[in-house]
Structure 1
């Protein structure tokens, strides 16, 4: 029965080749990417992340993700417009950190809540330096400086 099935499949492939259905396929005549590289067990996840342009941080365990996000807080809040928005951002991150600390999973990594007041001091200092730079350049106003858009986790809007 298996031989009959294989024969039927081979006949369909042969007839498709004769009709020219395999001619001019995308990638025809090009080498297979990664063929000369050593075998990697996680090739499929790496190719998925590259193809979908996802950050590799998604592969990290939760405590390392939280720790990395805590380290990036000054850069993330730099362009926020008000102290209240900075407090909200840091508060949301601290709530996630505390939730993880209550029920830790993954490797045991030291993750501490972010000091809101220290972040606010940095934010104020950066804001004052930026305002001084804006005041020193004629014709440039605060509203003419566009903040950079940053990538955010799509499920963390709330």
Structure 2
């Protein structure tokens, strides 16, 4: 005498109707079958499928935001856009350093935008080193202030020695 539960009968009838014949992934190995069991596997797969990520707020989130901003600024088309990307992040970092939120410390200082721009110019073929003017080109304006005087004094000493 065979015993067939209601569930078993539903499965058998569905098989007879052919509802299990063309399922996606049939005959393929299960993904990560060697990986250790994780209770949140379904949540992680759903988030990965939908392109979501969870970064905690506070210092950790700001660190991630700064990394993303640096990556975005590296591909920016102009210096103005680089500044537009990095300045708001610098403001948040400065605020975080003045009044740290509860949780782990930020662990980074403000982004040196001028230094980043020097590297950006080099990477984009816009080297900012001063070049010597070609013959017939006007010479650059003399520097003003104490730095200019110091520059010209050292230049004179080099010429006379």
What is the correspondence of 1:46-65 to structure 2 with a 5 Å cutoff?
Answer: 46-48=44-46, 50-52=48-50, 58-62=53-57, 63-65=59-61
Q: Which runs of 4+ in 1 moved over 6 A?
A: none
Q: Which residue of 2 aligns with 1:33?
A: 31
| RMSD over equivalenced CA pairs, Å | 3.3
Tell me, in whole angstroms, the C-alpha distance in 2 between the residues paired with 1:23 and 1:81.
52
Show structure 1 runs of 5+ residues with no match: 1-6, 133-158
Name the structure with the higher helix share.
1
TM-score (norm 1): 0.54
Q: Is the 8 A contact 1:74 1:122 kept in 2?
A: no
Aligned to 1:87: 83
Question: Which of structures 1 and 2 has the bigger CA Rg?
Answer: 2
Q: How many residues align?
A: 121
Task: Give the 5 Å matches for 1:50-129.
Answer: 50-52=48-50, 58-62=53-57, 63-71=59-67, 75-98=71-94, 100-101=96-97, 102=99, 104-127=101-124
Higher relative contact order (CA 8 A, sep 6+): 1
**With structure 2 as the length reference, what TM-score do the two structures score?**
0.53
